[in-house]
Structure 1
């Protein structure tokens, strides 16, 4: 069989996947850019240029949504990175019941985000919720977790961390277990402590895992919607509105072209933030 025939034969195996990728991913992306410059319904559309973008950026809630999105993404990312590292290091040490504890940490990841949001919104009820009831039994007056404009966004962020830290922990466990044990043995022979092993071996050599957690958590925070909507629907007021929830509200109101423009803006924002961050993180990775 000639080289050209072999090449054609191998590309034939890629064709079904390529068609699926084009139809379900590439084509909708291209069409979204086009329809973001139209006023469309399910049956008709009118080309209006960049009017949707001008209207979207003139929304009073957009500046609040941008700020909330960045705050939410940074808070959830930092907490997942730090807690995931600590839990990963703890669950790869010589403790008992490691498998069981790993399952407990990972279990919230398997739960439906909507179900978690509804459950925590009930638990965070200011007068009847389990959290404030427990605090009251200790003589502590709990706040209105989701009704207080100063802490509502952080309350949702903490629930997001509780649900998503299991993924970060699993990634860290994979990265830490890949570190050769000879490094730890050499440090122990030199009189190093467990703290030295953590700071001088575990942290530097788990950088690839850390970088993966940072990228995944940061992008997830920027794109977050379902948990916010299940718990607060963007309220009180615009306090917990993210860009994704603002876009959804435009869809609900029937402004499909405007909402599509918002999706394009979100896509561009995530790309502009995620790709430079990825380049910066991978540039200084420590390879074994």
Structure 2
């Protein structure tokens, strides 16, 4: 009996493409062709790059709606010579730092509370986040009425217990701080939600090991939550600081920048300059605000991410 061996038929597919070969139009290491980025690039160009360049140009001009005159850096010189504008810049820095720092601290503490085993935890989470959903203008109008020195609910409550109610929005010493407190109340819910997401993403094994070692609640907070929730801290700091430095609607609704110029920030001063017809000066103020925010946020973001990478 003779056995015949047939040649083996190759069932393999086409030879794999050499690693060095890349399909035309596809970036090395990318999953999509270049033209997939085109819609986002067009939107970014039209809505950000072009307005930014145009703003920089018109900040160097004395312009109206129908014509313009190039005057160089005269608008910027005038900006820093105006006492009200410099006051607005200082108030912007104070307001941004104060509100962002408070949101970081209170957001972290509320997140720790709302991730523990307490009664009504889900309801309390909803209540903390609710102010974030309310219109900023509505919040401003509501608290303007509540903080009214004559007949406002807050001062009436203080007088009922024998305490004198201050002029929350009429006293130059309290106006900016009062608006900042309302901003903190409205924005701390978002910081809390970000921190909650960061805390619940921490593996439970860390807490179980700490419990076995006899760690206290403070030890858990200091050695587990604080370092492992650092990405959430970075996010809260950056978002809160950008929002605080660019704040306008709440301040304008509650005080209009007053009394006098004591609660003015750059954004409210810019708006007043537009109202008065000083378009070039107000555009220069926008450029100054852009530079201030960029000069603070970009290095801070780099430093926070560097610290995170060192952990």
Aligned equivalents of 1:271, 1:263: Cα separation in 2: 12
Q: Shift of the alpha carbon at 1:6? A: 5.2
- Give yes or no for the alignment of 1:213 onto 2:236: yes
- Tell me what 2:24 maps to: 4
**Which string of whole-angstrom CA distances, capped at 9 and with x for unpartnered residues, describes residues 49-86 of structure 1?**
11111111111112211221111111101110000000
Alignment equivalent of 1:142, drawn from 141, 162, 165: 165
Structure showing greater radius of gyration is 2
Q: Shift of the alpha carbon at 1:13? A: 2.6
Q: Where does structure 1 lack aligned partners over 5 or more consecutive residues? A: none
- Tell me what 1:184 maps to: 207
Q: Shift of the alpha carbon at 1:5? A: 5.0
- Tell me what 2:198 maps to: 175
Aligned equivalents of 1:29, 1:70: Cα separation in 2: 22
- Tell me what 2:19 maps to: none
Q: Shift of the alpha carbon at 1:241? A: 0.6
Q: Shift of the alpha carbon at 1:171? A: 0.6
Aligned residues: 287
1:104-183 equivalences in 2 (<5 Å)? 104-183=127-206
Q: Shift of the alpha carbon at 1:96? A: 2.4
Aligned equivalents of 1:56, 1:67: Cα separation in 2: 13
**Is contact 2:148-2:168 (8 Å) kept?**
yes
Aligned equivalents of 1:139, 1:247: Cα separation in 2: 42
- Tell me what 1:82 maps to: 105
Aligned equivalents of 2:133, 2:310: Cα separation in 1: 32
**Is contact 2:155-2:165 (8 Å) kept?**
yes
Aligned equivalents of 1:182, 1:75: Cα separation in 2: 36
TM-score, structure 1 normalization: 0.95
Q: Secondary structure at the match of 1:224?
A: coil
* Bigger proportion of residues as helix: 1
Q: Secondary structure at the match of 2:24?
A: helix
Q: Secondary structure at the match of 1:39?
A: strand
Q: Shift of the alpha carbon at 1:21? A: 1.6
Aligned equivalents of 1:5, 1:225: Cα separation in 2: 45
TM-score, structure 2 normalization: 0.89
- Tell me what 1:32 maps to: 55
Task: Evaluate the alpha carbon distance shift between residue 263 and residue 139 of structure 1 in structure 2; reply closer, same or farther with a 3 A threshold.
Answer: same
Tell me whether 9-18 or 130-139 shows the greater mean CA deviation.
Answer: 9-18
Q: Where does structure 2 lack aligned partners over 5 or more consecutive residues? A: 1-21
- Give yes or no for the alignment of 1:251 onto 2:271: no
- Tell me what 2:126 maps to: 103
Q: Shift of the alpha carbon at 1:16? A: 2.3
Aligned equivalents of 1:222, 1:39: Cα separation in 2: 26
- Tell me what 1:71 maps to: 94
For the aligned residue pairs, the C-alpha RMSD in angstroms reads 1.7
Task: Evaluate the alpha carbon distance shift between residue 226 and residue 41 of structure 1 in structure 2; reply closer, same or farther with a 3 A threshold.
Answer: same
**Is contact 2:25-2:34 (8 Å) kept?**
no
Aligned equivalents of 1:6, 1:277: Cα separation in 2: 34
Q: Shift of the alpha carbon at 1:273? A: 0.9
**Is contact 1:205-1:286 (8 Å) kept?**
no
Alignment equivalent of 2:261, drawn from 234, 238, 255: 238
- Tell me what 1:55 maps to: 78
- Tell me what 1:18 maps to: 41
